[in-house]
Structure 1
């Protein structure tokens, strides 16, 4: 398995290239900015891109997903019920994206946004057990995603509580590869761009809460100011004209 992490500072975000080196098939998750670095990294590792995946319709930056998918001849992937007008390949909860000896299983994890997905990745050359999870803005290092950008804050928080329950069920050793790190606005977000389910289970205060009402109260406390033009960016990423002010 090949894995490359791209740390961005403007906006603060994390993208990934991963896939099977043996069969030369790869994918990119949550691409930001110029597409040349992803194409170059894929070429350097000898992989052709089969999928370009956005974990959700972002509200803090314009996705590079469609541009990259077109340039690479790859499928552009979103959750099947994402409210996107522009063409995409829709995936349902439980769908498997094959990448040679590597596979990514889709987990629908609403909360940060209704269409959010995580990807549970297995390298079958090593084991049939999952190795890592791309968790987007559902579970991050030291924090969880905000819940008011595409729904009411309470509705989003209750959905997020159910979603993180699915992630809590994963083994402690599963690596957590999130879509953001410190500087992107999280209340307790770490500057470390990776973790494990076990470490977050022990030391991520919000992830540790087991009672839904307590969780909702915690998520609704001290809600941060929304990113500038959040609604407009989500609309643009969905291929929809932003609503007039």
Structure 2
């Protein structure tokens, strides 16, 4: 497994490159800004970018996903329900993207936006169990994503509650790699620490730990 995290300040966002070094296969998630750092990271690690994935259609910045996919020859990936008028690879809930010995399973996690997806990643050279989840703007360190960007705040909140309940089913040890951190406009109480675990967030994330749907929506 090779994993690189890219932290951005203008806008505040987090991007990722991950994949299988042995099979030279990588994916980039939520790229922002200049595509050169992703191309260089792939080159330096000897990997070819097969997939460029946006967890959702971003409201606070322009994605570099399409430009990176075109430059690298990768598939540009969005969830199948994304309302976009350009070509992209449509993925479904439960679909598995293969990257050599690494796999990424698509989890539909609507709420921040209706088409939002997360990626549950497994390194099969280490275990058949997943290692981390890329959560975009659904679950972040300290809070969950805002819900009124692409729907009513209430409809988004109900969808986000269901997504949170689904993520809570993951084991405590699963690492959470979010798409934003402190300073982003997409969450309220975000930490400056850009990673966490499901177990820590289950205990100490004030929104994630709410178990009653009506309380959560309110």
Report the TM-score when normalising by structure 2. 0.99
1:155 maps to 2:155: yes
- Give the total of aligned pairs: 217
Alignment of 1:66-105 (within 5 A): 66-105=66-105
* Structure that is richer in helix per residue: 1
Deviations 1:24-61 (A, max 9, x none): 00000000000000000000000000000000000000
The equivalent of 1:118 in structure 2 is 118
Q: Distance in 2 between matches of 1:84 and 1:97?
A: 21
Deviations 1:139-166 (A, max 9, x none): 0000100000000000000000000111
Residue 98 of structure 1: SS of its match in structure 2?
A: strand
Deviations 1:53-100 (A, max 9, x none): 000000000000000000000000000110011110000000000000
1:44 maps to 2:39: no
The equivalent of 1:224 in structure 2 is none
Q: Distance in 1 between matches of 2:206 and 2:147?
A: 16
Alignment of 1:1-245 (within 5 A): 1-185=1-185, 186-217=187-218
Largest Rg, 1 or 2 = 1
Q: Which runs of 4+ in 1 moved over 2 A?
A: none
Alpha-carbon RMSD: 0.4
Residue 110 of structure 2: SS of its match in structure 1?
A: coil
Q: Which runs of no fewer than 5 residues in structure 2 stay unpaired?
A: none
TM superposition shift of 1:215:
0.3
Q: Distance in 2 between matches of 1:143 and 1:119?
A: 18
Q: Distance in 2 between matches of 1:210 and 1:130?
A: 25
Q: Return 13-22 or 181-190, whichever deviates more.
A: 181-190
TM superposition shift of 1:187:
1.5
Q: Which runs of no fewer than 5 residues in structure 1 stay unpaired?
A: 218-245
The equivalent of 1:233 in structure 2 is none
Q: Distance in 1 between matches of 2:183 and 2:134?
A: 19
Residue 59 of structure 1: SS of its match in structure 2?
A: coil
Report the TM-score when normalising by structure 1. 0.88
